[in-house]
Amino acid sequence: MTGLSDVMLDIRKRQHIKPYPPTEPVGFWTGEDLLDGKTVKSNTIIFRTKGCFWAQKGGCTMCGYTYDAATSPPTVDDILAQYRSVEDRIEGSVVKLFTSGSFFDKSEVPEKARDEILSSIGKKASKIIIETRPEFVTDKAMEAASKHGARIEVAIGLETSNDRIRNECINKNFLFEDFVRASETAKRHGVTTKAYLLLKPPFLTEKDAMEDIFRSVLDAAPYAGTISINLCNVQRGTIVDDLFKKNAYRPPWLWSIVEVIKRVHGKTNSMIMSDPLAAGQARGPHNCYECDYAFADAIRKYSTTQDIHVFDGLACDCRLLWEKTLALEGWTFGSPLVY
Ligand code: SF4
Ligand SMILES: [Zn+2]
């Protein structure tokens, strides 16, 4: 029987991947984040590594980040050279470390490079947010990470609290209990947890996707001080991309995330955030293309203020179409009615 991993591997084999030098990071940018209730400057560094081990076995159905991986595994010096190339541009109190995989996977970021980077950032910033899969959140890694001065937060792509959706729609290959274990391990070392959720993985209707995130926020909140809801976008070389090209997948409506935020606001002690990447594009979350920027602005503003009133007055005629979508999409077994 062919599983999602086989289909993903087949798709990945067909991609033309650009070779990148191992000393160049995938990206660096500055933005805003919320720290102790205040809006502060944040920095994001995406290191180029050999890529996520799970993506190399097929990986998640929406994930095209693996195409940014270095062709050969970067050495300790290569990873440090990547850091040095952006080090002087770091300003503000929050630094986010991504690898398009797991920063705590030693085969992506060797311990020596990890420790030097954390020690250097620990002298500049007050909080470091580090993206990783839960299996790499070990006592040893947390102990090593938490001794450099800055507060550490592990950011885990939980995607949903529903094991069936996580494994049968996303092909994530871990369970909710793995996330809980990782969060408890982190907590023993004073490390906090951020959970990423995914609104609208493939094979779900818009309505089911909203219900899933509503439930997931409540389930994840006891373990995650911050919950960031990612809105699925269509990345090239993925199952989501194949479905999109066959008119069998539409990214989520921005109405949906606003509705989910309104429903969960005040129901947990966690900060709820969302950065609507690629909003207003066909491959990104969108409404009718007329109102998308106003919606995306309000969602970003909510993320850095937690003020629910930013959504007051958001209106557009396309609301009716979104409501019809929620009511009728079940009859088409999830195939989009409106693009
Ligand atoms: S989403 Fe994360 S775990 Fe899944 S393949 Fe991509 S990098 Fe790996
Ligand atoms: Zn609209």
Ligand 1, atom 4: closest residue by C-alpha = 60
The reply to whether 17 falls in a domain is yes
Question: Which pLDDT score is estimated for 20?
Answer: 86
CATH number, domain of 26, equals: 3.20.20.70
Residue range 139-164: mean pLDDT, rounded: 97
Three-state DSSP at 11 gives helix
Residue pLDDT, tens place only, 155-178? 999 999 999 999 999 999 999 999
Tell me the best of 7, 9, 60 to mutate to test the pocket of ligand 1, counting ligand atoms within 8 Å of each CB and taking the most: 60
Question: Which pLDDT score is estimated for 18?
Answer: 84
Joined together, the tokens standing for residue 328 give 């009728």
Tell me the best of 12, 48, 65, 104 to mutate to test the pocket of ligand 1, counting ligand atoms within 8 Å of each CB and taking the most: 65
> Which residues make beta-bridge pairs with 46?
27, 98
Minimum-distance ligand 1 atom for the alpha carbon of 63: 6
The reply to whether 337 falls in a domain is no
The reply to whether 339 falls in a domain is no
Question: Which pLDDT score is estimated for 334?
Answer: 66
**Domain residues for 76?**
4-332
**Cut 0.85: pTM above it:** yes
The reply to whether 24 falls in a domain is yes
- AA letter at 246: K
Residue pLDDT, tens place only, 55-106? 999 999 999 999 999 988 999 999 999 999 999 999 989 999 999 899 999 9
Q: How far apart are CA 207 and CA 261, in angstroms?
A: 14
Q: Which of 186-190, 205-209, 328-332 has the lowest mean pLDDT?
A: 328-332
Q: Ligand 1 pocket by C-beta < 6 Å: which residues?
A: 52, 54-55, 59-60, 63, 65, 100-101, 133, 157
User: Packing angle between helix 206-220 and helix 319-328, nearest 10 degrees?
Assistant: 90
From ligand 1's centre to the CA of 167, what distance in Å?
12
Residue pLDDT, tens place only, 241-251? 999 999 999 99
Question: Which pLDDT score is estimated for 100?
Answer: 86
Ligand closest to the CA atom of residue 319: 2
Give 3-state DSSP helix, strand, coil % of the chain, rounded to 5: 40, 15, 45
> How many distinct structural domains can be found in the chain?
1
Ligand closest to the CA atom of residue 294: 2
